[in-house]
Amino acid sequence: MTSVGKKVAAGAAWMIGMRFVERSIGIVSTLILARLLVPEDFGLVAMAMAVFAFVEIAGQFGFDLALIREQHAAREHYDSAWTVSVCYGILAALILAALAIPAAYFFGDPRLETIIYIFGAVALLQGFENIGTVDFRKNLNFGKDFRFIFFKKIISFAITVALAFHFRSYWALVAGMAASRIAGVVLSYAMHPFRPRIDFSKTKALFKFSKWIVLTRVIDYFGTRSPDFMIGRFLDASALGLYRVGHEIATLPTSELIFPIMRAVFPGYATVAHDRALLARSFLASQAMIVTLALPAGLGIVLLAEPFVLVLLGEKWLPAVPVIKILGLYGAVAVFQATNNSIFNVLGVPSWATGLKTAEFIILLPAIYYGLHSGRGLEGVSYAILGTKLIIIPIEMALTAYLLRIGFIDRIRTAWRPIMAALAMWFAVSYLLPQQVETEKDAIMILALAIPTGMSVYAVSLLALWAIIGRPEAPEKFLMDFLRQRFRP
């Protein structure tokens, strides 16, 4: 593993542990909210978020990536990025105000109008967030980056849960989202000394890199949120709530493990982008870490979807189980291409990611429509998402291999041990599962037995395979060293 790879991996591993703490709060929040609220509440807010996310994503210009990539960025670059963000915040508020009534009409629910007006005010305030926090990642200061995210989460958690107990309605979710974004603005100035000022001098230079980032994110938005629009339009808020919560749970293990690594790898890649061979080794090391950590988690949620839902959410959420199983496979498959876009961006070809997202959307949209009208409902939508990803991933992998000059064998070397260990885990846990889970008590017992069994089988299998081939420099060695350092007496 390269020195940069080790530094990135160390930061990512530390963040994964801390992210686990943060996400534990999120799981507790989901558990409480799912018990207090109903799928319709989640679906209604998901409809409003679909509109808000479109306006928000169009304003995420990728200036953070541009500033990280430009190792010698001047103050004017930061000021220009902040100035554009403020201007877009004002524009976003006006757009959301204009879309509130049409969106309520499109989804057939007048309650959306007020929610979207509130989101418009949030967008206005969010535009003022301090751009200086980009330096947390740029300087590989992952501890501060984590704390910034963590504090936003804990504030949102406290407000959402308190209001859920009080209102027992979707307003708790709305308030929690608003609190998280507003807290982000306040914390950005409290945690970083940079004080931005109005400046447009470097706007053109920033947009030169980020224009493709914006387009990619907009297209990705349509791919990610098109199920929300179509389910909300053709089904109802309750179905959309089941889908959104099911999607979150299904991708929770993989997304939460990948997220900190993704925030770590781009700055790391940027420091070695001048050396293509070193970049390739760093990519393979990062990819190996992602597959090792996230693949068993993704498969685990597929196996344990039903008892997990019974314990975490309750019986009223059981219709989401098929969605979780299908999208859990989607999350497991996605780990094999987790950092491809970072490679495209750091090597100056973000248009490749744009092209791939466009192709994915073109395939996905008719597939979702067919899935909805085939009589399979939410299952049909989930299969459409999984099938589209299975088509796109090999293309992404081929393009990355071309840029980095790595072969198929190189990718196999990084993945075969976690794949084999994950299969061993799958068979071991499958053997323990009954045909049907009837009560919440049964579900608790199943999880109490299956989770430690699966983790043990995976870890033993992985380390045994690693030892058989001579204990090379690999994620297994890094994780063993990391644990020794942290738990050394």
Encoding tokens for residue 211? 């224009």
Residue 79: C-alpha distances to residues 128, 205, 362 (Å)? 11, 13, 37
Residue 31: C-alpha distances to residues 297, 362, 443 (Å)? 19, 36, 15
Position 189 scores a pLDDT of 93
Position 252 scores a pLDDT of 75
- 3-state SS string for 375-443: CCHHHHHHHHHHHHHHHHHHHHHHHHHHHHCCCHHHHHHHHHHHHHHHHHHHHHHHHHCCCCCCCHHHH
Position 479 scores a pLDDT of 74
In 328-390, which ranges are E strands? none
Classified as helix, coil or strand, 76 is helix
Position 20 scores a pLDDT of 58
Candidates 2, 81, 13, 118; CA nearest to 480 is 13
User: How many CA atoms does the CB half-sphere of 359 hold within 13 Å?
Assistant: 15
* Cβ contact 124:89 at 8 Å: yes
> How many angstroms separate the CA atoms of 226 and 241, rounded?
14
CB atoms under 10 Å from CB of 165, counted, come to 11
Position 110 scores a pLDDT of 92
Position 294 scores a pLDDT of 85
> How many angstroms separate the CA atoms of 266 and 346, rounded?
7
Task: State the alpha helices, DSSP H only, in 38-141.
Answer: 39-58, 63-69, 75-107, 112-126, 134-138
User: How many CA atoms does the CB half-sphere of 293 hold within 13 Å?
Assistant: 27
> How many angstroms separate the CA atoms of 349 and 341, rounded?
9
Position 113 scores a pLDDT of 94
Position 325 scores a pLDDT of 93
Residue 318: C-alpha distances to residues 34, 243, 250 (Å)? 12, 11, 13
Low-confidence ranges of the chain (pLDDT < 50): 2, 4-5
